[in-house]
Copies of this chain bind each other. A is one copy, B any other.
Amino acid sequence: MSTHTMPSADIVFDTLFAYQRSAALGSAIDLDVFTAIDGGARTGREIADRCGAPERAIRILCDYLSTIGLLRKSDGRYELVPESATFLSKRSPAYLGTTARFLLTHELKQNFERLTDAIRQGGVPPDAHNTVAEENPIWIEFARSMMPMMVPAAHGIADLVAESSSGALRVLDIAASHGVFGITIAQRNPRAEIVAVDWAPVLEVARENARGAKVEDRYRTLAGDAFTVDFGDGYGVALVTNFLHHFDPPTCTEFLRKIHRALKPGGRVVELEFVPNPDRISPPVPARFPLTMLAGTPGGDAYTFDELRRQLEDAGFKDVSSHALPTPQTIVIAQKP
């Protein structure tokens, strides 16, 4: 066997060992390595002293982080790169470490330990423990952890919705979670009233955030399963953010019909979604997202813009438009005629 004419196996082993990248980042967040460097520690010894770990271990961790682009090393001194300075140092207002730690919890990762079974079965059975199971407590932690990551999208939605409806506006915020989408609209439009739907314990997090944002007098909650609870009607805007990707297309369309009934004529539905291109392999973040749904839900997926439009039109909406964000997600808006 001639080995010299073969391609390099680097990509195979890099992929096999990719789980170590996740673990290294998780440990660096646990030990607050990035904040230590941001605070002036540069050598392995200095970082080790601030993080309370032996120098050899910190040197190995920081070297590893340098090989994957989260630190820069020269002459034995470590520096932050712009991305780690912005998102991984607690000194940064855009710190995402709490979100990141949540995304690495065993509960979320363990679905991937059974990925082969999920693929053979085409997903996780509805009666099994799964991410969309009723009142899964992970959604409380999700609400507390994911808000920082959703702030840019919340501003994007408010830009599109609140400013064009400066008068009285009733907003239905479905699967409100942390509540940031509705709350941001309420902050922009002093005549907006929000009705937030989610499981009862999750709504406590949303209410807490509404109080923090001083919009609690215009913030109502509606506890229960979004598929069965009575939304009421006459809404000007319905937000359905990070929700549809958990379900198969017929379920999405049926759910959009329920939203359609709750809106007043001229009312708008606003989706926040991972929207891959028609090739389904670009851009990378939306294109990779379906694997998480395959591993954790009975029939979830990421839908292309054409697929989302078809769901919306089948449910009775018109004028479907998409709006890019600085994050990897897309806002899709449609109107009830």
The interface of chain A, by Cβ under 8 A from chain B, is 1, 3-4, 6-27, 30-31, 52-54, 56-61, 63-64, 66-70, 73, 82-84, 86-88, 93-94, 96, 100, 103-104, 106, 109, 112-113, 115-116, 118-123, 151-152, 155, 279-282, 284-285, 287-288, 290-295, 301, 326-328
Which residues of B sit under 8 angstroms from A109, Cβ to Cβ? Answer: 19
- How many identical subunits does the complex contain? 2
Contact status A288-B115, CB under 8 Å: no
The smallest beta-carbon distance between A216 and chain B, in angstroms, is: 22
Which residues of B sit under 8 angstroms from A15, Cβ to Cβ? Answer: 21-22, 24-25, 68, 70
Bound complex: CA of A9 vs CA of B281, how far in Å?
A: 19
Main secondary structure of the interface of A (DSSP, over half): helix
Contact status B119-A4, CB under 8 Å: no
Contact status B4-A301, CB under 8 Å: no
Which residues of B sit under 8 angstroms from A281, Cβ to Cβ? Answer: 63, 66-67, 73
Which residues of B sit under 8 angstroms from A3, Cβ to Cβ? Answer: 151-152, 155, 326-327
Residue from B22, B83, B116 in contact with A17 in the complex, judged by beta carbons closer than 8 Å = B22
The smallest beta-carbon distance between A254 and chain B, in angstroms, is: 19
Which residues of B sit under 8 angstroms from A295, Cβ to Cβ? Answer: 23
Say yes or no: A119-B61 contact (C-beta < 8 A), given A19-B22, A22-B15, A67-B284. yes
5 A-B contacts, Cβ less than 8 Å apart? A4-B326, A9-B327, A19-B112, A67-B288, A68-B288
Which residues of B sit under 8 angstroms from A70, Cβ to Cβ? Answer: 11-12, 15
Which residues of B sit under 8 angstroms from A100, Cβ to Cβ? Answer: 12, 16
Contact status B52-A120, CB under 8 Å: yes
Residue from B23, B66, B106 in contact with A112 in the complex, judged by beta carbons closer than 8 Å = B23
Which residues of B sit under 8 angstroms from A67, Cβ to Cβ? Answer: 281-282, 284, 287-288
Bound complex: CA of A87 vs CA of B15, how far in Å?
A: 13
Residue from B27, B58, B279, B301 in contact with A60 in the complex, judged by beta carbons closer than 8 Å = B301
Say yes or no: A86-B7 contact (C-beta < 8 A), given A18-B18, A112-B23. yes
Which residues of B sit under 8 angstroms from A83, Cβ to Cβ? Answer: 7-9, 11-12
Given A16-B25, A20-B291, output 12 extra A-B contacts at Cβ < 8 Å. A1-B93, A3-B151, A6-B94, A10-B285, A14-B284, A17-B288, A20-B112, A23-B295, A54-B121, A59-B280, A64-B291, A66-B281
Bound complex: CA of A264 vs CA of B143, how far in Å?
A: 68
Which residues of B sit under 8 angstroms from A121, Cβ to Cβ? Answer: 54, 57
Bound complex: CA of A10 vs CA of B19, how far in Å?
A: 17
Closest to A61 in B: B119
Say yes or no: A24-B64 contact (C-beta < 8 A), given A9-B96, A83-B7, A279-B73. no
The smallest beta-carbon distance between A121 and chain B, in angstroms, is: 8
